[in-house]
């Protein structure tokens, strides 16, 4: 695939409008391509709809019409639409709460997001009105990307223009790498290493550019460029446009609002799904439920770990598709202090140490949430390695970086650290396409397996994969397929 535009998928942590605008200078061609792609996809969906087997819920020996496995945003969206369509629905959820990878921690008296933080590409995004209905408040990311960049090695602080130049160079290098896609797949890193503008950088310049790659690649895909498929890096559909919204008062408000009036059984970890001529039997240990059809919204990590046995086995195309996608890890370490000694002048800090891919970005919570805390991000292999450390070790490591960057000697008063890679009901943060993988895998998994079995969730969609709204729309599509 040849392109001269940038990957515009929204950044999980670099949410400044400035970066968004910068990336969107390339958007015109991409939008056109996306619209063309979307028309093709819609046309093929329409064709599939006429030939796809229909789900016959009536007459099935079922206790409910549909069982939805998982009460994350995808499962809730599917369940709501199925109920609205007149179906009886039961959700089986492994955790003791709804939301899945939307999880708000309130142990410090203010909302701290352990999973999703932003409603991305807000223009046209259905989550915006859902948030309003749920009483969830948001703040637009600042127009001009209020950012500070601190290189602790030189040491040096970069100004707005110098930061802009770094982003532009990073984007140019990534664009050039994408332009070299095609033929036998290789990693995005292998392509970046061949870009003349990258090769010509000295070690210090490379360190800074790598800190930008960490923000635009590692964060976004929850993995480093070394493992990302070059040929698929820029694939996928962005359904919406516009800047991102920072959720202030608890993202969990959205799934909690959606869950109202739905029937949900908690602490049920499903381990078997058996379809037969008349329905589906879903099991969790010795407990069983019967339904006409099932929507499976468990994260890709759960499917890859074969936690759930399918009977009959999934068709080969589906098992192959599961193998052609991978689960990345993005973790947060959040340190709380007595006071927000970093002030209110910046909305994000880039801090570059010896490894520019570790503890590279810090989001203050004092302005948006009223908490004197800093959120740091780690992705991919770094995140997986850091998950093995204790909270005390992580606190010391992060506090040392912060003290060096700000020239202070402060002791945090608390730490919250996520370990999404070890979360038994997620086994990762969100999906990516690895070298040798394919966007087709997402399309396959988005197609109903048969009249009784449909997948939904962030990994099983080519539109806005790895986002909350992508998962939401995927859940709605699954419900539509069953109601059709």
Ligand X SMILES: Cc1cc2nc3c(=O)[nH]c(=O)nc-3n(C[C@H](O)[C@H](O)[C@H](O)COP(=O)(O)OP(=O)(O)OC[C@H]3O[C@@H](n4cnc5c(N)ncnc54)[C@H](O)[C@@H]3O)c2cc1C
Span from 68-76, 146-154, 341-349, 445-453 in contact with ligand X (CB under 6 A):
68-76
Among 67, 237, 298, 368, binds ligand X (CB under 6 A): 298
Our CB check for ligand X shows the closer of 166 and 268 to be 268
CB of 283 to ligand X, least distance (A): 10
Q: Does 301 bind ligand X (CB under 6 A)?
A: no
Q: Does 291 bind ligand X (CB under 6 A)?
A: no
Count of positions on this chain that bind ligand X (CB under 6 A): 42
Interface of this chain with ligand X, residues 310 to 349, rule: CB under 6 A: 330, 332
Among 187, 275, 350, 467, binds ligand X (CB under 6 A): 467
CB of 457 to ligand X, least distance (A): 3
Span from 285-293, 334-342, 355-363, 426-434 in contact with ligand X (CB under 6 A):
426-434
Q: Does 60 bind ligand X (CB under 6 A)?
A: no
Q: Does 457 bind ligand X (CB under 6 A)?
A: yes
Our CB check for ligand X shows the closer of 401 and 459 to be 459
User: Contact letters (x/-) for ligand X, 98-117, by CB under 6 A?
Assistant: --xxx------------xxx
Q: Does 270 bind ligand X (CB under 6 A)?
A: yes
Span from 161-169, 206-214, 382-390, 467-475 in contact with ligand X (CB under 6 A):
467-475
Our CB check for ligand X shows the closer of 151 and 224 to be 224
Our CB check for ligand X shows the closer of 78 and 158 to be 78
Our CB check for ligand X shows the closer of 335 and 471 to be 471
CA–CA distance, 78 with 63 (Å, rounded to integer): 18
Q: Does 131 bind ligand X (CB under 6 A)?
A: no
Span from 73-81, 171-179, 200-208, 399-407 in contact with ligand X (CB under 6 A):
73-81
Give the footprint of ligand X on this chain (CB under 6 A).
12, 69-75, 92-95, 100-102, 115-118, 120, 268-270, 297-299, 302, 307-308, 330, 332, 420, 425-426, 429-430, 457-458, 466-468, 471
């Amino acid at each position: 695939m040849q392109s001269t535009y940038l990957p515009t998928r929204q950044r999980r942590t670099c949410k400044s409008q400035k970066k968004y605008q910068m990336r969107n200078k390339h958007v015109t061609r991409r939008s056109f391509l996306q619209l063309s792609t979307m028309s093709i996809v819609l046309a093929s969906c329409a064709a599939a709809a006429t030939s796809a087997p229909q789900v016959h819920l009536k007459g099935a020996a079922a206790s409910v019409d549909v069982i939805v496995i998982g009460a994350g945003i995808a499962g809730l969206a599917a369940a709501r639409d199925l109920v609205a369509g007149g179906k009886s629905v039961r959700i089986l959820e492994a955790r003791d709460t709804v939301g899945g990878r939307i999880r708000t921690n309130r142990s410090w008296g203010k909302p701290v997001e352990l999973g999703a933080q932003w409603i991305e590409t807000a223009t046209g995004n259905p989550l915006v009105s859902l948030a309003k209905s749920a009483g969830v408040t948001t703040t637009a990311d600042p127009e001009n990307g209020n950012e500070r960049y601190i290189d602790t090695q030189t040491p040096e602080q970069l100004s707005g223009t110098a930061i802009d130049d770094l982003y532009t160079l990073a984007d140019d290098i990534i664009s050039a790498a994408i332009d070299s896609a095609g033929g036998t797949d290789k990693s995005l890193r292998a392509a970046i290493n061949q870009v003349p503008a990258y090769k010509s950088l000295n070690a210090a310049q490379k360190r800074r550019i790598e800190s930008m790659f960490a923000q635009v690649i590692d964060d976004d895909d929850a993995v480093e460029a070394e493992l990302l498929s070059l040929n698929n890096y820029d694939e996928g559909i962005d359904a919406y446009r516009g800047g991102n919204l920072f959720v202030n008062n608890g993202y969990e408000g959205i799934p909690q609002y959606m869950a109202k009036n739905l029937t949900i059984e908690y602490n049920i970890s499903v381990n078997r799904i058996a379809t037969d001529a008349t329905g589906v039997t879903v099991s969790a240990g010795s407990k069983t439920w019967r339904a006409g059809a099932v929507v499976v919204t468990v994260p890709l990590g759960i499917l890859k770990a074969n936690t759930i046995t399918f009977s009959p086995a999934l068709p080969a195309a589906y098992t192959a598709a599961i193998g052609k996608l991978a689960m990345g890890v993005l973790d947060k370490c959040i340190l709380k202090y007595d006071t927000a000694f970093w002030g209110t002048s910046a909305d994000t800090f880039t801090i570059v140490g010896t490894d520019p891919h570790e503890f590279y970005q810090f989001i203050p919570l004092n302005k948006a949430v009223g908490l004197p805390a800093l959120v740091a991000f780690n992705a991919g292999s770094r995140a997986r390695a850091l998950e093995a450390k204790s909270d005390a070790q992580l606190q010391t490591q992060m506090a040392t970086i912060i003290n060096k960057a700000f020239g202070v000697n402060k002791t945090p008063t608390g730490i919250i650290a996520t370990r999404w890679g070890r979360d038994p009901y997620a086994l990762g943060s969100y999906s990516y396409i690895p070298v040798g993988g394919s966007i087709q895998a997402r399309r396959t998994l988005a197609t109903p397996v048969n009249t009784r079995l449909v997948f939904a969730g962030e990994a099983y969609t080519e539109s806005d994969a790895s986002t909350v709204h992508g998962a939401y729309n995927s859940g709605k599509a699954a419900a539509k397929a069953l109601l059709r």
